[in-house]
Amino acid sequence: MRTDNWRHFDFWLLGAVSVLVIIGIAMIDSAIAGNIELIENQAVERQAIFAAVGIALILFISLMDYHLWVAISRVLYIILAIFLGITLFAGETAFGSSRLLNIGFETIQPSEMAKIAIIILLADFFARHKTRINQPIWIIRSLILPLILVTLIILQPDLSTSIVLLVIWFSLLWASGLKVKLLVIFVGGALLLSIISFPFLETYQQERILTFAFPDPDATFGATYNVNQALISIGSGGLFGEGYGQSPQVQLRFLKVRHNDFIFSTIAAELGFVGSILILLLLFFLIWRCLRAARLAHDTLGALIAYGVATWIAFQTVVNVGMNLNLLPVTGLPLPFISQGGSSLVSLMIAIGLVESVVSHHRRLEF
């Protein structure tokens, strides 16, 4: 990176990411207290290592011109498709789907990297064809790229990650200048497709939707139980929380998956309403810095990359918090930068590196 590029490097964005990651490691450490399996697997230590690798990746990727990623994006796409195909047959099962792949020294989730590949490929596609974006044939062509990966991910089955990829596609399509009339048609079509596809979902996926629509308050296991315990945890935190590592709901393990899917409930129980809001404000500040990068970008490619990353983080934040508050069905989407998970964290950090590259290589000087 040239010396003059450092003046554009978004240290506020890097600072927000660093604070969120530190909070995440601390909350994971509190959440897994008493869980022998996670302690023996060194979940906290591994998360810290992934965080350190992620920070290094942010700095390294910001040195590169983001246009270089377009050249390798197709190779990355093919490699990911191969990994996803292998995962279908040789993947490790977690929460009802084969989404993890053991590569010897570590277990990875290839579908997380798919989000980055799709953002780069679609940003390049829409930037090159922005004058044709309202022609149906070009819209269909843009959908082919994510649809192949979506199909491989749905077969795992992993519906939530598939939805993220489609949301990224649709948001970039809209940001590229999709007409309002076509926007309404697409939204209506998506709703209709969701209703039609319900009978073809996996049993556990159907149960999650049905328990959300028709909850059983007396359930002692399953999605309804988890959500009930999450609501109890959130309510027990009150305004300022019960204290770090002091929540009975968390420490006595009434709250399930408290280090991952339901980590927001852990935060609410121990840090309270005030702590939860501050963390959400920090996440929205990070999203705003990504949107700022999109505004500063000197070309459409950079703007769409930053916008795609902002959409990804915003969507997962809304869905994860909504799930914890029982406003949305239970999904496997983690809370960005906070939930435990190496593949998710590293993928998000790579995405932030791309946003930093967009900011660092823009041409307008700011003081």
| Residue 32 main-chain phi, psi, to 5 deg | -90, 5
* Pairwise CA distance, residues 313 & 282, whole Å: 12
303: helix, coil or strand? helix
Residue 340 · residue 94 · CB < 8 Å:
no
Q: Where are the beta strands (DSSP E) in 84-202?
A: 92-94, 97-102, 107-108
In the prediction, which pLDDT does 85 show? 86
How many CB atoms neighbour CB 137 within 10 A? 8
Q: What is the DSSP letter of 298?
A: S
The whole-number average pLDDT for the span 134-146 is 86
98-102: long-range contacts, CB 8 A cutoff, minimum separation 24: 98/156, 99/153, 99/156, 99/158, 99/161
In the prediction, which pLDDT does 139 show? 86
* Pairwise CA distance, residues 174 & 61, whole Å: 27
In the prediction, which pLDDT does 5 show? 58
Q: Exposed e or buried b for every residue in 45-56, given b needs 16+ CB within 10 A?
A: ebbbebbeebbe
In the predicted structure, residue 110 carries a pLDDT above the cut 90: no
Cα distances from 349 to residues 60, 164, 280, in angstroms, run 11, 17, 18
Task: Kindly indicate the confidence band of residue 140, based on its pLDDT and cuts at 50, 70 and 90.
Answer: confident
Please state whether beta strands 107-108 and 92-94 pair in parallel, antiparallel, or not at all (unpaired).
unpaired
Task: Kindly indicate the confidence band of residue 346, based on its pLDDT and cuts at 50, 70 and 90.
Answer: very high
Cα distances from 365 to residues 10, 100, 296, 358, 360, in angstroms, run 13, 44, 10, 14, 10
Residue 98 · residue 92 · CB < 8 Å:
yes
In terms of Cβ atoms closer than 10 Å to its own Cβ (0-12, 13-18, 19+), residue 94 is: middle
- Rounded to a whole number of angstroms, the CA Rg of the chain reads 20
Work out the mean pLDDT of the chain and round it to a whole number.
85
Beta bridge partners of 92: 100
In the prediction, which pLDDT does 154 show? 87
Task: Work out the percent of the chain whose per-residue pLDDT is above 90.
Answer: 41
